[in-house]
A = this chain, B = another copy of it.
Amino acid sequence: MHMKKFINDPRQLVPELLEGFTLAFPRHVELSGSNTIVRATPKPAGKVRLVTLGGSGHEPGLSGFVGRGMLDYSVAGEIFAAPGAAKCIDALREACAGAESALLIVLNHSGDVLAANIAMQAVEREGLNVRIVLTEEDISSPVGDRRGLVGCVGVYKVAGAAAEKGASLEQCVELAQRMADNMRTLAVAVRTATHPVTGQPIFELGDGEMEIGMGQHGEAGTGRMQLKSANQTAEIMIEQLLADLKVNAGEELLVMLNGAGATTLMELYLVFRRVAQVLEGRRIKLARSAIGEFITTQEQAGFQIMIARMDSQLIELWDAPADTPFFRML
C-alpha cells in the first residue's frame, strides 16, 4: 500500500499536529511547554487535576478529551510512542502547583507505564500529592497482562466529573478504579494502516481475513478468521465480553463502540444494533452508549467494543456535563 497522507516533514509531525489541534479548539485547549496539552481555562483551585499520557497518531485520543469535566493535562508522545518521563514529571508538577493534587491515568502499555512509574517516583520524592490508576481492560490477554484500550475514555469521564464536582483525590481514585475494574474491551481489525513516519504497514492481514483481539498498534490478537458479517462479529465479541465481565441479567451496562479509523459509522451502527439485541435477549440493560472514533490507529479498519458495569453513581458521573474537543455532554 502506497502511503497517501497529507503530512509535511515527518520529524515535525507531532508538534505540528498539536499546534493545529490547539488552533482549531482555542476555547478548549492550549499547549504547555512542548507536546503537553492543557485546558485553555484551568480548573478552579482546590479541585483534583486529571493527567494522562500516551503516544500520538491515535487522534482524537488522548488530547481530544482535555477540557471541562474530563482531563486537565495530556502529555503526548511521538507517533505510537510513550512520552519521556521528564515531560510527565513537568506535567505533574504543573498540575500540583499551589498544593493541588493530581490523578494520573495510564493505559497499560509498557512504554507508557515505564514513563509513568519513573514520573511517579520523582514527584512522590518531591512530596506531591499524586495517585495513579492503570487501565487494563483488553480481554484478549490474560489478567495481569491486559492492555488499555478505549475504556480510558470512560475513566476520564467519571473521574473527571467527580473532580469537577470537588471530590477528594481519594474519592477520584476510588471512582476511577471502580470504573477500570468494571470495564472490558475487545478489538477487531480487518485492514492495516500505514505508519505516518515510516510509510510501512503496521501489520499484515490476508485478503478476506479479520483478527479479533488485536491491540492498538497491531499487537497480535487471539485468532484470525474469515471476515464475518456485522451480526456475527458483534455476537462473537459481545459474548466474550459478557462472559469475561460476568454480567448478569438485570445489570446495567455502558457500551462504547470505537472506530479504528477507516471503519464507517454505518458499520458501527450495524454492530451496535446486534449488541443491543443480544443484551435485550439476556435482559441486560443498555444504560448508556457512545459511538464514534475516540482512539484511532490512523486509517486502520476495525473497531473496539467496550462494556462497563454501571451503578447509579457511575451513571450520574457519565451524564455530568463535559466540554472537550471530542467528547461533549450537555
Contact = CB atoms under 8 A, between A and B. Distances in A.
A21 interface: yes
A191 B270 contact: no
Interface stretch (A45-53, A113-121, A129-137, A292-300): A292-300
Nearest to A61: B265
A225 interface: no
Contact of A20 (B196, B263, B269, B328): B269
Interface stretch (A93-101, A171-179, A228-236): A228-236
How many copies altogether?
Answer: 2
A83 B326 CA distance: 31
Contact of A301 (B4, B196, B293): B4
A234 to B, nearest CB: 8
Interface string A319-330: 001010010111
A145 to B, nearest CB: 28
A229 B106 CA distance: 34
Chain A contact residues: helix, strand, loop or mixed: mixed
A125 interface: no
B190 A269 contact: no
B264 A59 contact: yes
A143 interface: no
Given A4-B227, A262-B299, A330-B323, A20 B273 contact: yes
A158 interface: no
A124 interface: no
A292 B257 CA distance: 17
A24 B330 contact: no
Nearest to A60: B265
Interface in A190-220: 190-191, 196, 207-208, 210
A267 B8 CA distance: 9
Nearest to A301: B4
Contacts of A191: 4
7 contacts: A2-B208, A7-B229, A16-B269, A18-B269, A23-B289, A265-B293, A299-B299
Interface of A: 2, 4-8, 13, 16-21, 23-25, 56-57, 59-60, 64, 190-191, 196, 207-208, 210, 227-231, 233, 257, 261-273, 276, 286, 289-293, 296, 298-299, 301, 303, 321, 323, 326, 328-330
